[in-house]
Amino acid sequence: MSFEIPFGPQHPALEEPINFMLEIEEERVVSVKPRLGYVHRGIEKIAESRNYQQLVYLSERICGICSFAHALCYSQTVEELLDLEVPERAKFIRTIIAEMERIQNHYLWLGLTAKEMGFETLFMYAWRDRERIIEMLDMISGKRVNYGMSTIGGVRRDITDSMVERIEESLKHLETRAEYYTKVCTKDPSILKRTVGVGILRPREARALCAVGPTARASGIARDIRADEPYAAYGEISFRVVTYRGCDVASRMYVRIDEIKESIRIIRYALKNMPEGPIRVKAPIKVPEGEAISRVEAPRGENLHFLKSNGSIKPERWKIRPPTLANLLSLCRMLIGVNLADVPVVIAGIDPCIACAERIALVDVKTKKREVWDGKDLWRYANEWYRKRYGL
């Protein structure tokens, strides 16, 4: 007897609305049909009526958790269009904030995956430890999310010496906690039973389906933009790209906890070797014509921004390819053959950020024609589809 269970858009396991129609036979998933579009906000359309400086703040608000990665990627794209060289100190500060955001994201992820498994205590502990890093970000930038630190031409605030001491204290505490979570996640029998062997993604499939971020690194593929195409100050800092070969949710967990430790090391090095100098250069308002792409390793994977400018103060086209959109195909492949009880765990395993992933573009495969729909077209299409399907 096969059920069709809708997973989402309203579900206690999901923070953001996304719909998967799962076909279940005897508690195993047989097929998956994802549906996006519940949280589409029209960001790429708004971009056509704002100037470049204002869009930095819009790019931060694409996602609440990986907000700095989007702002950084956008700033880098505009700087490439302007051919602007950012001062060294600004690059180091950008690196520090990006790594702090990575730590914050991975602690949040650990808590959420524990909650999906029913382990409330680990959830509370991970989020309690996350408060330490958020306090540091608050102290540096004045806000707990959407920091407003990156701007075209550098960063807006400096890291003073008194801040460095407090950051070092927090990092020490966070490192101890990360060691503790490694111990818990490798020894606790209930976590091991729920995550080992669940949600397998073979390396061949990961390569074919373009998995990015920790999802790919847990299948043994060493893909990391920070090492492949260094941006900001990553070219001068040596760090290890963490990979595991387990291909399951447990490996993704270990990859992320090890990345926390690597990030702490990177921040320490950057704080010690930060050069003196200005933190910002003035950027012109008008951007010359051209196209540019920039890639950044967001905490969830590879983030890509594309900007096309036509010489005025407002961009012509802004395209964002967030990491969750790239991992969605791998997710659908991973979910087949999984127990219904493990579906939230597997979905949480790729660290989904649906707010990032809402980008619609329609490509007609036969004629290779691209068209972009607005609200009226979607409404008309939806009405016709329902009328045809239900014979109304």
Contact map string, positions 157 to 176, toward other proteins, x by CB under 8 A? x-------------------
Which of 290, 317, 339, 359 lies at the binding interface for other proteins (CB under 8 A)? 339
Which of 33, 183, 204, 245 lies at the binding interface for other proteins (CB under 8 A)? 183
- Classify residue 361 as exposed, middle or buried by CB count within 10 Å of its CB (0-12, 13-18, 19+): exposed
Listed in sequence order, the residues at least 6 apart from 173 whose beta carbon sits closer than 8 Å to its beta carbon are 129, 132
Note whether 115 binds other proteins by CB under 8 A: yes
Note whether 118 binds other proteins by CB under 8 A: yes
Note whether 114 binds other proteins by CB under 8 A: yes
d(CA 299, CA 263): 11
Cβ proximity to other proteins, 325 vs 350, nearer residue: 350
Note whether 281 binds other proteins by CB under 8 A: no
**Peptide bond connecting 288 to the previous residue in cis, omega within 30 degrees of 0:** no
Helix (H, G, I), strand (E, B) or coil at 99: helix
Nearest to 229 by CA among 280, 291, 281, 303: 303
| DSSP H or E stretch at residue 6 | strand 2-7
Q: How many Cβ atoms sit within 10 Å of the Cβ of residue 273?
A: 11
Which of 42, 64, 142, 284 lies at the binding interface for other proteins (CB under 8 A)? 142
Helix (H, G, I), strand (E, B) or coil at 200: coil
Nearest to 32 by CA among 381, 374, 330: 330
Q: Pick out residues in 41-60 that bind other proteins (CB under 8 A).
A: 50, 53-55, 57-58
Cβ proximity to other proteins, 19 vs 54, nearer residue: 54
List, as one string, the DSSP characters of 24-80: EETTEEEEEEEE--TT---HHHHGGGS-HHHHHHHHHTT-SSSHHHHHHHHHHHHHH
Cβ proximity to other proteins, 48 vs 384, nearer residue: 48
Q: What are the beta bridge partners of residue 321?
A: 304
Note whether 182 binds other proteins by CB under 8 A: no
Nearest to 93 by CA among 169, 159, 153, 145: 159
Which of 131, 169, 179, 377 lies at the binding interface for other proteins (CB under 8 A)? 131
Note whether 193 binds other proteins by CB under 8 A: yes
Note whether 308 binds other proteins by CB under 8 A: no
Contacting range for other proteins; rule: CB under 8 A; set: 70-78, 187-195, 302-310, 322-330: 187-195
# chain residues binding other proteins, by CB under 8 A:
51
Note whether 257 binds other proteins by CB under 8 A: no
Could you list the residues that contact other proteins (CB under 8 A)? Answer: 3, 5, 11-13, 27, 50, 53-55, 57-58, 61, 114-122, 124-125, 128, 131, 138-139, 141-143, 146, 148, 156-157, 180, 183-184, 187-191, 193-194, 339-344
